[in-house]
């Protein structure tokens, strides 16, 4: 349990917990919400062109449909923490799984664009809940020495979900002979892309039935014996469970239920640590990472790459995303959080600037658009490099920091605000990209490069290192 984490002396390798395999299973099951988070967020990438053709949408309205889920995400993220304190972490996971399932079915069978938008918003509620409850639950069941790496499961699941969604989209497109509106079993290809998500949604719901409730919540609910049983499953065999329960209760007595008012300091403004959490969340999105995952297929087609190849490049960027995430999981508890963020910021800034230069050579209009061969290759390499640097730094580390940087008394409420800010920034980037792209694709990437540049002094001067520290020592 995180409430009794002990600092690991510098240079001393952590002991392997007795029940690490079981804890990994619990963590992976909880992170299935992250998989759906990534899948649902990215699957729209493959359906954009089909949706645009089916409902005859312009760039502005198309952006609203794509971004609609993000508004639901903000609401789900803002409410999940308090809801989990009232009904439990597992119950919130089950609610999210139900919403994912309903959203997948509805999104596959819309009769009008407003219906598709509604189902996307419902899916967004589920994504927002998963974005909060996953890291919180994992932090509460993780052995302290492995907390950073286990917390990284959430981001790992997200990037795997993104990759699988692109692979499924590519397979369906091949099945439909390269036509997103090609008929398959009475539905168009893009409808199958959105509907397939019902499978992992059901798996998530089933997994939530077999993993234990958080020991911390069980003690808060007065279910002491159930809490002891879970502690026995996740703690070392030589741990005195009575002493551990007493320690957790002592930590809980020092806390109070966080409210929005607890996040406020002087003049009715957020506390500095809350602003830093909001800043981390917003920078993670303002560098434009989700342009790659929401629009990459249509982006590559807009510079002259054929549809089948554009789907393949979307999949390869997802694989690079997975590789970068694995790198981060290996080094987040070795190098620390801040060094990885700074490395990522520099790498993202350079790769985004390179992509902006390449896109400045875009020529032609309408459906006759292309890049010179050299610039086209450069743009592809820069996009993949950008994803790699994001994944090995901001993609993982922000989620780790949000789960551990806040004081205990405000953690749940502050995490909800931070996650909501992330979704709002995500929405802003998603809804503006089509217009920015039509205006000046190169200029859009210059804007994202500037945000990557600004993130460097933000991390250097404002973000504190949390590596090896106990959660109750955060202040």
* DSSP line for 44-71: HHHHHHHHHHHHT--HHHHHHHHHHHHH
Examine the pLDDT at 93 and tell me if it is beyond 70. yes
Task: Find the mean pLDDT for residues 225-247.
Answer: 78
**Which one, of 380, 361, 356, 342, lies nearest residue 446 by Cα?**
356
Give the whole-angstrom CA distance, residue 56 versus residue 243.
Answer: 65
Report which of residues 22 and 258 the model is more confident about: 22
Over residues 186-213, mean pLDDT = 93
| pLDDT for res 475 | 53
The Cα–Cα gap between 310 and 299 comes to 8
Q: Which residues of 124-156 are buried (b: 16+ CB within 10 A; e: fewer)?
A: bbbbbbbbbbbbbbbbbbbbbbbbbbbbbbbbb
Pairwise CA distance, residues 303 & 67, whole Å:
23
Please check whether residue 67 is in contact with residue 423, taking contact to mean a CB–CB distance below 8 angstroms.
no
Structure tokens at 391: 């994944």
What is the pLDDT, as a whole number, of residue 257? 64
Average pLDDT over residues 274-288: 93
Residue with the larger pLDDT of the pair 154 and 5: 154
CB neighbour burial string for 289-309, b if at least 16 within 10 angstroms, e if fewer? bbbbbbbbbbbbbbbbbebee
Percent of the chain at pLDDT > 90 equals 30
Mean pLDDT rounded to a whole number for the chain: 83
Whether pLDDT at 92 is above 70: yes
Instruction: Tell whether the model's pLDDT for residue 1 goes beyond 60.
Output: no
Query: Over pLDDT 70: what percentage of the chain?
Result: 87
Q: What is the pLDDT of residue 439?
A: 79
| pLDDT number for residue 24 | 87
pLDDT given at position 365: 57
Q: How confident is the model at residue 2 (pLDDT cuts 50, 70, 90)?
A: very low
Question: Minimum mean pLDDT among 17-21, 201-205, 459-463: which range?
Answer: 17-21
Report pLDDT for 123: 93
Is residue 5 pLDDT above 50, yes or no?
A: no
Alpha-carbon torsion (131, 133, 136, 142), positive or negative: negative
Q: Give residue 389's pLDDT.
A: 97
Predicted local distance difference test score (pLDDT) of residue 370: 73
pLDDT tens digits along 344-380:
999 999 999 999 998 888 776 555 567 787 888 898 8
Total length of the chain = 475
The pLDDT score that the predictor gives to residue 301 is 66
pLDDT value of position 304: 63
Distance between CA 456 and CA 79 in Å, rounded? 31
- Looking at residue 204, what is its pLDDT? 94
SS3 of 264, please?
strand
Name the least confident of 159-173, 239-253, 425-439.
Answer: 239-253
Question: CA 202 to CA 224: how far, in whole Å?
Answer: 31
| pLDDT value of residue 23 | 84
Residue with tokens 């580390």: 397
Count of other CB atoms within 10 angstroms of residue 468: 18
- Binning pLDDT at 50, 70 and 90, where does residue 62 land? confident
Q: How confident is the model at residue 3 (pLDDT cuts 50, 70, 90)?
A: very low
CA distance 430 to 420: 15
Angle, helices 289-302 vs 32-55, to 10°: value is 30
Tokens of 207: 């997994």
The alpha carbon dihedral of 307, 308, 313, 314 has a sign of: positive
**Among 329, 358, 351, residue whose Cα is nearest residue 442:** 358
Q: Note the pLDDT of residue 366.
A: 53
Report the range of poorest mean pLDDT among 105-114, 346-355, 399-408: 399-408
In angstroms, the CA 24 to CA 108 distance is 34
The answer, yes or no, to whether residue 313 has pLDDT greater than 90, is no
Q: What mean pLDDT is predicted for residues 139-146?
A: 74
Which of 31-35, 58-62, 120-124 is least confident? 58-62
| Beta-carbon contacts of residue 102 (< 8 Å; ≥ 6 apart) | 119, 122
Ramachandran sector of residue 177 (left: φ over 0; alpha: ψ -120 to 50; beta: rest): left
């Amino acid at each position: 349990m995180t409430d009794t984490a002990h600092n690991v002396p510098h240079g001393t390798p952590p002991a392997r917990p007795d029940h690490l395999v079981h804890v990994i299973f619990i963590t992976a099951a909880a992170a299935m919400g992250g998989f759906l988070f990534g899948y649902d967020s990215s699957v729209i990438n493959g359906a954009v062109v089909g949706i645009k053709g089916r409902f005859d949408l312009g760039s502005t309205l198309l952006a609203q449909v794509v971004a609609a889920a993000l508004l639901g995400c903000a609401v789900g993220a803002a409410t999940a923490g308090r809801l989990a304190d009232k009904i439990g972490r597992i119950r919130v996971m089950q609610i999210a799984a139900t919403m994912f399932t309903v959203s997948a079915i509805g999104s596959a069978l819309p009769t009008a664009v407003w219906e598709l938008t509604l189902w996307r918003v419902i899916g967004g509620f589920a994504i927002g809940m998963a974005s909060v409850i996953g890291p919180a639950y994992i932090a509460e069941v993780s052995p302290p020495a492995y907390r950073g790496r286990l917390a990284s499961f959430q981001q790992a699941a997200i990037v795997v979900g993104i990759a699988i969604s692109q692979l499924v989209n590519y397979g369906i497109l091949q099945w439909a002979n390269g036509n997103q509106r090609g008929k398959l079993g009475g539905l168009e290809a893009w409808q199958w892309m959105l509907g397939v998500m019902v499978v992992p949604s059901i798996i998530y719901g089933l997994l939530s039935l077999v993993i234990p409730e958080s020991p911390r919540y069980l003690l808060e609910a007065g279910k002491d014996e159930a809490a002891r049983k879970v502690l026995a499953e996740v703690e070392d065999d030589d741990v005195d469970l009575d002493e551990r329960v007493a320690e957790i209760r002592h930590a809980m007595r020092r806390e109070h239920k966080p409210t929005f008012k607890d996040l406020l300091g002087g003049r009715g403004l957020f506390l500095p640590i809350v602003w830093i959490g909001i800043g981390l969340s917003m920078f993670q999105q303002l560098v434009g990472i989700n342009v790659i995952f929401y629009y990459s297929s249509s982006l590559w087609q807009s510079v002259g790459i054929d549809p089948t190849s554009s789907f393949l490049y979307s999949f390869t960027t997802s694989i690079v995303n997975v590789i970068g995430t694995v790198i981060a999981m290996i080094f987040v508890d070795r190098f620390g959080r801040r060094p990885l963020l700074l490395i990522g910021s520099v790498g993202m800034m350079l790769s985004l600037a390179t992509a902006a230069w390449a896109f400045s050579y875009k020529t032609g209009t309408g459906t006759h658009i292309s890049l010179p061969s050299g610039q086209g290759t450069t743009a592809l390499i820069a996009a993949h490099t950008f994803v790699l640097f994001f994944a090995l730094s901001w993609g993982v580390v922000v989620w780790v920091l949000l789960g551990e940087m806040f004081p205990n008394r405000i953690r749940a409420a502050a995490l909800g605000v931070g996650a909501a800010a992330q979704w709002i920034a995500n929405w802003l980037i998603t809804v503006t990209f089509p217009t920015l792209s039509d205006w000046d694709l190169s200029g859009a990437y210059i804007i994202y490069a500037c945000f990557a540049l600004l993130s460097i002094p933000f991390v250097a001067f404002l973000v504190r290192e949390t590596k090896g520290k106990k959660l109750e020592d955060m202040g």
